Amino acid sequence: QKEVEQDPGPLSVPEGAIVSLNCTYSNSAFQYFMWYRQYSRKGPELLMYTYSSGNKEDGRFTAQVDKSSKYISLFIRDSQPSDSATYLCAMSAISNTGKLIFGQGTTLQVKP
Amino acid sequence: ETGVTQTPRHLVMGMTNKKSLKCEQHLGHNAMYWYKQSAKKPLELMFVYSLEERVENNSVPSRFSPECPNSSHLFLHLHTLQPEDSALYLCASSQEGNQPQHFGDGTRLSIL
């Protein structure tokens, strides 16, 4: 079983839709949770960074962590064509090396 | 220059060649990372340097040799690579520990 599971998609939605992206994980030691966005031919760009459980909001983006279910989500409100990208979840346990475990990434297409 | 810069952006090499990838960060971070990104697979952590010491070597073949001469620069020396080593190689940096990592745009490596 992979440590982090993420549906690769692709996920196609109309402009203005609410998008829900999800990851599940198996390691209960994970405490730090991140979402990255990766455009074609570019490196991953950090979108959200959360510690432990709870919600975090930044503009149109909301990250949720449910440690009891080992489930994290990223919601995108009022999705735009410019949101079309691959979204990667990543997580780590408390350590001094910052070792991140990534999901496979979900490809999102927002159609005008 | 800002952020994390990687050179070259593209590299084609034969299996017997020796080449090096370069990464430079302008964020004042003290930890640097090499990742491998292959199609349809999660990012794989290769090496971690914290305070210029290698603290993680994720079972990477010896044909990959990292070097971190100072906290701003990271190299990946390549020799006698195999076709399956063709991938996008990403460099990242962060403050040490579990701080968010910031990525460069990668070097697209093709082995003939």
| Predicted local distance difference test score (pLDDT) of residue A56 | 94
Give the separation between CA A20 and CA A17, rounded to whole angstroms: 10
Q: What would you report as the CA-atom Rg of chain B, rounded to the nearest whole angstrom?
A: 13
Q: Which residue of B has its CA nearest to A41?
A: B105
Q: What is the DSSP string of A65-97?
A: EETTTTEEEEEESS--GGG-EEEEEEEEES-SS
Q: Are strands A106-111 and A11-14 parallel, antiparallel or unpaired?
A: parallel
The answer to whether the Cβ–Cβ distance between A100 and B45 falls below 8 Å is yes
Q: What single-letter amino acid sits at B109?
A: L
The answer, yes or no, to whether the previous bond of B8 is cis (omega within 30 of 0) is: yes
Across the interface, of A43, A92, A97, the residue whose CB is closest to B103 is A43
| Predicted local distance difference test score (pLDDT) of residue A5 | 95
Is the pLDDT at B59 greater than 80, yes or no? Answer: yes
What confidence tier does A1 reach under pLDDT thresholds 50, 70, 90?
confident
**Averaged over B82-94, what is the pLDDT?**
96
Cβ–Cβ contact B89 with A under 8 A: no
Could you read off the pLDDT of A58-107 as tens digits, one per residue? Answer: 999 999 999 999 999 999 999 999 999 999 999 999 876 778 999 999 99
Q: Which residues of B touch A33 (CB under 8 A)?
A: none
Give the separation between CA B89 and CA B76, rounded to whole angstroms: 9
Q: Which residues of A touch B105 (CB under 8 A)?
A: 41-43
Give the separation between CA A29 and CA A27, rounded to whole angstroms: 5
Torsion sign across C-alpha atoms A51, A57, A62, A67: positive
The answer to whether the Cβ–Cβ distance between A97 and B99 falls below 8 Å is no
Q: Which residue of B has its CA nearest to A4?
A: B42
Lowest mean pLDDT among A47-56, A62-71, B71-80: A47-56
Q: Which residues of B touch A46 (CB under 8 A)?
A: 100-102
Q: Where are the beta strands (DSSP E) in A1-112?
A: 4-5, 11-14, 19-25, 30-38, 45-51, 54-58, 61-66, 71-76, 85-93, 101-102, 106-111
Element (H, E) at B90: strand B87-94
